[in-house]
Amino acid sequence: MRKYVIMGVQGSGKGTQAMLLADDLDLVHISVGDIFRWHVQRHTKLGAQVRRVMAAGELVGDDLVESTVRDRLAVHDWNYGFIIDGFPRSRRQAEFFLESYDIDAVLHLDLPDSEVRRRVLARRICSRCGLDYNLIFHRAKVEGRCDVCGGELVSREDDTEEALATRLREYHTKADPILELFRTKEFVVTVDARPDKVTVQQDIRKQLGLPEYRV
């Protein structure tokens, strides 16, 4: 059984890296962001709460994240282990997590703030069907138009310079002390998140002593 935590700022590709690892090792990928998005799309009570916070360019509160993760892990469908993304969010949660679960490693995807800005501000979404685009990684065939439905591509409402600066500040305020704590326990594997996704995945596996990723 393998139990990993993956950490990295928005735009660092941690969702992609978690998925590549999870698919191969039969790990359950627990993404707090995905769980919240599911609720937003289905207009649940939790979804409405999350939507309000995100529209203000802020992060969802620690308690809400913690209860969401607790409920998800309580399902116990992770026979081969899990990789968790978006948790812990505070030192207190990190301490609790270390005591309750025997974590094997914390994968830290390291990306400079300048590169985060470049990647995040290039994101676009189709105003009609909701498909994601990115002016760097996934361009539309016709500029400004969705490949699938022809809808207009727009920035997400929470992808403004200002909202991003707030998120970056909040990320560092929260994540840096958590990484510090994990480092003292010698759990942290730091990976340079700037290269392409396959290179990053190989680096993760090398550092974890896992077999190479086969493309």
**Positions marked catalytic:** 14, 89, 123, 156, 167
End-to-end CA distance of the chain: 24
Minimum CB distance to Zn ion smaller for 131 or for 135 = 131
Which DSSP letter does residue 9 get?
-
Torsion, Cα of 88, 92, 97, 103 (10° steps)? 80
Separation CA 89–CA 70 (nearest Å): 13
State in angstroms the smallest separation of the CB of 125 from Zn ion: 9
Please give the residues from 122 up to 181 whose contact with Zn ion meets the rule CB under 5 A.
Answer: 126, 128-129, 131, 146, 148-149, 151
Minimum CB distance to Zn ion smaller for 129 or for 154 = 129
b/e string for 189-215 if b means 16 or more Cβ within 10 A? bbbebeeeeeebbbbbbeebeeeebee
| Alpha carbon separation from 28 to 1, 24, 143, 196, 214 (Å, rounded) | 11, 11, 37, 24, 20
Convert residues 48-87 into a mask of x (bound to Zn ion by CB under 5 A) and - (unbound): ----------------------------------------
State in angstroms the smallest separation of the CB of 154 from Zn ion: 11
Convert residues 89-128 into a mask of x (bound to Zn ion by CB under 5 A) and - (unbound): -------------------------------------x-x
How many chain residues are in contact with Zn ion, going by CB under 5 A? 8
Amino acid at residue number 214: R
State in angstroms the smallest separation of the CB of 132 from Zn ion: 10
Amino acid at residue number 108: H
Minimum CB distance to Zn ion smaller for 128 or for 172 = 128
Minimum CB distance to Zn ion smaller for 146 or for 200 = 146
Q: How many CB atoms lie within 10 A of CB 104?
A: 14
State in angstroms the smallest separation of the CB of 149 from Zn ion: 3
Query: Given the rule CB under 5 A, which residues bind Zn ion?
Result: 126, 128-129, 131, 146, 148-149, 151
